[in-house]
Structures are given as C-alpha cells and as structure tokens.
Amino acid sequence: MPRLVEIYAPATTANLGPGFDILGMALEEPFDTICAEKTDSPGVIIDGITGDEGRLSLDPAKNTAGISAAYALKQLGITDQGIRMTIHKGLPLASGLGSSAASAAGGAVAVNALFGDPLRRPQLLDAALEGEAAVSGRHADNVAPALLGGIIFVGGLTPELLEPLPVPLGLVLALVTPNVAVPTAEARAVLPQQIPMRDMVKQTASVARLISALYRNDIEALGKAVEADGIIEPARQHLMPGLHEVRAAARERGAFGTTISGAGPTLCAICDSESIARRVTDGMELVYARLGLACQTRVTRPASQGCRVKIIE
C-alpha cells in the first residue's frame, strides 16, 4: 500500500452555456497538486498551501480538501490512521474553473489512494460534495468531472445519476480569466427566480442541441449550442466585463462559440485545433488590454481522466 501520493486535480468548466447546473467538463490544465502522506494519528492535517496568496485556511475543517479527506476517512471506517497534505493551488480561486471542486475531489481521491483504492470514483462523490458544499454549495457539476474526467451529465447528486457523455475528438478550449472577482454567491444571486415558459422551452431546445452535438462529434454545433443560453448568461453578463467583445474576437479568429465558464469570470471558447485556440487567446488578451484589465489565458483540452494519482512511495 502506498505511503505517499501526489494527486493532480483538474480544473473543470461547468454549464457549457445552457447546461446550467447539469453539465461539466474536466480540463487537462490547469490543475491543483496535492501531496498526501499517511499518518499514524487519526484525522487530517494540512501542512501548507501554496499558490493561493494566503487566502485558504490550513484548518482542515475549513478547507475543501480537508473536509472531503475527513469524510472519505470516515466513509472507509479508518479511525486509527490519518492523512497529512500539502496543497499547491494551480487553479485560480473564484474564477469559474472549479477551484474548490478540484481540491474537494483531490482530498477524497488522496485518502482512497493511500488506503488501497477500495472505492471506485463515483463512490467518492459524497466526500467530494461535502468539501464543495462548504464553499460553493452542494452541486456536482464541477466535482463529478473532477473525479471522473470527460464531460459529465449531472442528473443529480448520487453516483447513478452521473452520466459520461462523449467528448468530441479534437476539441480544444481557449480560456481567458480576467482579473476581476465574481463571487459564486453573487453570480447565483443575480439569477431570476422565475423563468417565462417560452424561455424554458428554448433552453430545453438548446440543451437538446448541445447533447446531440456531443454525440455527433460536431464541434461547430457544440460551439453554437454553448452560446444559446437565453437565461443564465443574460442575467450574469453584466458581471463579466468584455464578454461580448471577447466572443466577437474569438469568433473572428476561428472559435465556434464562447461561453462563461461556471459562474465566471473565466470565458471559454470552443475550438477545433490548438493553433486556432492560440490565435483566439491572443485575441482575448487584446480585448482585455483595451479594457485595461489584466488577464491570464490558457489553451487546454478536455481531460479524459479525473484526478490522476501518482504513487511516490
């Protein structure tokens, strides 16, 4: 049985436009790295966190990775041993890339790996949700793909309601994260409580188009579908500086569509090659330069796996 493991916990982009709260995709980059070691004392210790600019708590009861690790230990019935972690946040916080979910998934996967992998990934959903709930509310559209990889349809909060969807071959994502804060709570607060029937029907049509595009391996149709969100994006767009300019610039450079990643402010453009995605991120940078906003861009792909485990010892 391993004594020391490293977990690479992926970023995830939730919603994909109209799939609000029901779709999420794991990304190859960026990712958090959790170095985790078995201890002979019970419970969870967080030794250190880097890459968070001091914003996250070392108290395991207040840290998503700590909470999910503790839950997983309890789930496995382990009371005489524990886990000691150091966390490197490769994911920017509160940026719409599933930072809390990555750490929550990573904490649960770390415990499972250190104690002989008794649980399959979907069985770690509860533990990961427990960590996620402490920060972002109890929803699985980030933790499910962070655990399982690929694109996951989240039909609910139990493992049997998670459904992997096909990932279009050659899909590349151009991401841009402008330097503005969009707290998830605020991004949720601006959403309408009631939706006109007509808009609801349109939203179901957009979701149908999106799911069909995934099965048909049609990246262009996927790009169109992610933009066909008539409910969430209109309510949130004022919180996303540059959204429409970025979308226009991305389209001009060959992207098929651009949407808000999770609750934002990261924007995610759908591309079908790395060279196009690089051109798109160049265009995104120009937009934010004009707006006088710092930003970080990334070109990445869907991750076929969720959290990866490397056994060190």
- Sequence-distant (6+) residues with CB within 8 A of 55 are 93
Strands 43-50 and 82-88, by their bridges, are parallel
How far is the CA of 12 from the CAs of 106, 189, 195, 235, in angstroms? 13, 22, 27, 22
Q: Is 303 in the site for a second copy (CB under 8 A)?
A: no
Q: Active-site residue among 132, 177, 258, 297?
A: 132
- Does 12 qualify as catalytic in the annotation? no
- Does 233 qualify as catalytic in the annotation? no
Q: Which stretch binds a second copy (CB under 8 A): 40-48, 51-59, 149-157, 179-187?
A: 149-157
**Tokens matching residue 53:** 């600019």
State the Cα–Cα distance between residues 182 and 262, nearest whole angstrom: 11
Pick 166 or 170: Cβ nearer a second copy: 166
Pick 88 or 209: Cβ nearer a second copy: 209
Q: Which stretch binds a second copy (CB under 8 A): 92-100, 154-162, 284-292, 305-313?
A: 154-162
Half-sphere exposure of 168 (CA within 13 A, CB side): 22
**Tokens matching residue 219:** 């990246």
Residue 157: CB minimum distance to a second copy, A: 12
Interface map 161-200 toward a second copy (x if CB under 8 A): --x-x-------------------------xxxxxxx--x
Applying CB under 8 A, among 205, 285, 291, 308 the residue interacting with a second copy is 205
How far is the CA of 95 from the CAs of 104, 136, 191, 256, in angstroms? 16, 12, 18, 22
- # of chain residues touching a second copy (CB under 8 A): 31
Pick 1 or 189: Cβ nearer a second copy: 189
Q: Restricting to residues 5-24, which ones interact with a second copy according to CB under 8 A?
A: 18-23
Contact present, 18 and 210 (Cβ < 8 Å):
yes
Applying CB under 8 A, among 153, 219, 265, 279 the residue interacting with a second copy is 153
Pick 45 or 157: Cβ nearer a second copy: 157
Q: Restricting to residues 221-240, which ones interact with a second copy according to CB under 8 A?
A: 231
Residue 226: CB minimum distance to a second copy, A: 14
Applying CB under 8 A, among 57, 179, 212, 275 the residue interacting with a second copy is 212
Pick 116 or 155: Cβ nearer a second copy: 155
Which residue in this structure is represented by tokens 């524990």? 82
DSSP states of 273-298 = SHHHHHHHHHHHHHHHHHTT--EEEE
Q: Restricting to residues 33-92, which ones interact with a second copy according to CB under 8 A?
A: none
Residue 149: CB minimum distance to a second copy, A: 17
- Give the DSSP H/E element, type plus range, for residue 112: helix 99-114
Q: What is the DSSP letter of 143?
A: H
Measured between its terminal Cα atoms, the distance across the chain in Å is 9
Q: Active-site residue among 184, 245, 274, 285?
A: 184
State the Cα–Cα distance between residues 154 and 145, nearest whole angstrom: 9
Binding site for a second copy (CB under 8 A): 18-23, 153-156, 163, 165, 191-197, 200-201, 203-205, 207-209, 211-212, 215, 231
Q: Any idea which residues carry the catalytic annotation?
A: 132, 184
